[in-house]
Structure 1
Amino acid sequence: MDVVETRELAYFLAVARELHFGRAAEGLGIAQPPLSRAIGRLERRLGVRLLERTSRRVTLTPAGETLLAEGGAALDAVAAAVRRTRRAGAAGPRLVLAMKPGGDGGGLLPEILAAYEREPDALPVEMLFGYGAADALRDGRADAALLYAPRQDVTGLATEELMEERQVVVVARGHRLAGRAEVSMADLEGEVLPRRPHAAGPGDGPVIGDGGQLMQLIALGRMVAVLPESMRGLLREDLTAVPVRDAEPTTLVLAWAEASRSRALAAFVRSTAAVAAASTASHLR
């Protein structure tokens, strides 16, 4: 079988998603005849028919459905590899660490960075903040990410578990639950909980993509949020946190691409794991 070109694969995905050559060609910014020729070449390379074409409609064959399901991930992996390669070969190489706002490793991040700087293979660390930290890792914008599982999806990523945290509900100081020693998930019935992009978990309120927005809405009494306990130290004065006794603990993990062979990244993983292990041991004494 001949090697499949990424451009041909991208052209096929455009047609497969639109099921219309004209719209796909317009979206790609090319004329329809070269698009049709590219799909034909791809089918000849693979030795299978991907699309059934009539004068009235375009449909996917079983082979086309398979390539649609798996081809996007393949293109994404190539794009991620290109981004990482360019960053590694840049005049000033760096290691990009992604995390959600406030997700600073349970307060361990300063120690992690200090330990990493002592590694001979260390690179300067650049922070990338956002709720899509796992996506930034998958698409190559980041080399590593601090994530909270199971709320954030770590499927297909290499991970190192760092610490387990119980969860708290963050509420305004005047909220009906603010004075409690602890609450249960049942106590939150009727409360508006945020939904976050790229994350699983309870929530029927608006999608929140920014930490400042979340805290402001909580302070206004518009919602409450169940968060890792380490967020306590980052709360505004008009907010408070109450332990949720029956909330499933959340696990802070360091995640990275399974295929990575970067010595700088390996050094970061070692440093992070060592700091987390030392912190856990000190709390057990």
Structure 2
Amino acid sequence: MSEDSIDLRVWRQFLAVAEELHFGRAAQRLAMTQPPLTQAIARLERTLGVRLFDRTRRRVALTPAGEALVPEVRALLAQAQALPARARAAAAGEVGRVRLAFVSTAGFEQVPAWVRAFRAHSPGVALELVEATGDVQLGAFARSEIDAGLMLHTPGSAPAGLARLPVATEPMVLALPARHPLAQAPRPALAQVLAEPLVIFPRRIVPSLYDAVMALYAQAGCAAQVAQEAIQMQTIVNLVAGGIGVAWVPESVTQFRRAGVVYRSGRELRGAGRHGTVLPVCETSLVWPAGPTSPALARFVGFVRELVGG
């Protein structure tokens, strides 16, 4: 018998003898006769090349090597006993791992609430979070580094090749420097706003939303004067507070209460919605690779679907 062939039955026999310190009682506990048990322990000792028990006519005692094995064997047998239940739990998505990427706007509201709720609902599933822009998420999907992502885009424009669950739709709003004259007006004119320097995210981050913002300027018959690009929405808002320009951001960003910034919705802009000038709308979707999914991911998607009523 080689070390590779030592099966759990032999370790159960070892543990019975170690706990009883009597071959007769151990054999009785294992529902077998004593000679086969004695032979099994002798074979185990030969295979390992160490003595596990000191045996005399009157007593059986563990050797130091045998004592060292007892806790390890107990743990091994406990793990083996738990394997069937764990396999069933894994197949049901009750245990496992979901690596979730998210854009910063989702981090204001959806992600914290969902993480708390999902961890209470499925404590056996590890939800690992990483903040990443849409382009970074696509690369991570290609390398199988994430299982799902929360992406920002215009309605219906999620990246191709991914399964999608829309989770939120919101308008874009205007962010103005608080000291700018337009911020003091109750209803600044859209035409005046569009003439201001613009702070915006690079197109590669959210192509559909970038194009929608540029289309807003084109509809009004002007070209955007891009003063600065920034990747994170919080950075964009900070640049607006510093007077670099104005910005169009998802409404959820208004929860980022940055001093020195004033937000204006479309209803507060004169000329918005008229003469074909349509303010952009953005959508957040939960996305994941199309095709078969792990049970844990399927469980998470189902949980989110129930939350959003999708």
TM-score bracket, normalised by the shorter chain, equals 0.5 to 0.7
Counterpart contact for 1:182–1:243, Cα < 8 Å: no
Q: Does 1:110 align with 2:142?
A: no
- Structure 1 unmatched ranges of 5 or more: 1-87, 279-285
Counterpart Cα distance in 2 of 1:236 and 1:272: 30
Partner amino acid, structure 1, of 2:103: K
Q: Does 1:97 align with 2:100?
A: yes
SS of residue matched to 1:97: strand
- Structure 2 unmatched ranges of 5 or more: 1-89, 215-225, 268-277
Q: Partner residue of 1:224?
A: 246
Per-residue deviation, 1:178: 2.2
CA 1:163–1:211 in 2, change beyond 3 Å: closer, same or farther? closer
Identity of aligned residues (%): 21
Per-residue deviation, 1:257: 0.8
Counterpart contact for 1:134–1:153, Cα < 8 Å: no
Q: Partner residue of 1:195?
A: 201
Per-residue deviation, 1:225: 1.8
Of the candidates 135, 151, 161, which is equivalent to residue 166 of structure 2? 161
Number of residue pairs aligned between Structure 1 and Structure 2? 187
Counterpart contact for 1:173–1:238, Cα < 8 Å: yes
Per-residue deviation, 1:109: 2.4
Q: Quick check: 211-220 or 247-256, which moved more?
A: 211-220
Of Structure 1 and Structure 2, the greater helix share is in: 2
CA 1:187–1:139 in 2, change beyond 3 Å: closer, same or farther? farther
SS of residue matched to 2:199: coil
Q: TM-score, normalised by structure 1?
A: 0.56
Counterpart contact for 1:98–1:137, Cα < 8 Å: no
CA deviations 1:91-142 (Å, max 9, x no partner) are: x9632211222322x6132332233224448522222113235323343222
Counterpart Cα distance in 2 of 1:183 and 1:253: 32
Cα-Cα RMSD: 3.0
CA deviations 1:128-157 (Å, max 9, x no partner) are: 113235323343222111112228742221
Q: Partner residue of 1:143?
A: 147
Q: TM-score, normalised by structure 2?
A: 0.52
Counterpart Cα distance in 1 of 2:181 and 2:292: 49
CA 1:138–1:182 in 2, change beyond 3 Å: closer, same or farther? farther
CA 1:125–1:220 in 2, change beyond 3 Å: closer, same or farther? same
Counterpart contact for 1:181–1:243, Cα < 8 Å: no
Q: Which has the larger radius of gyration?
A: 2
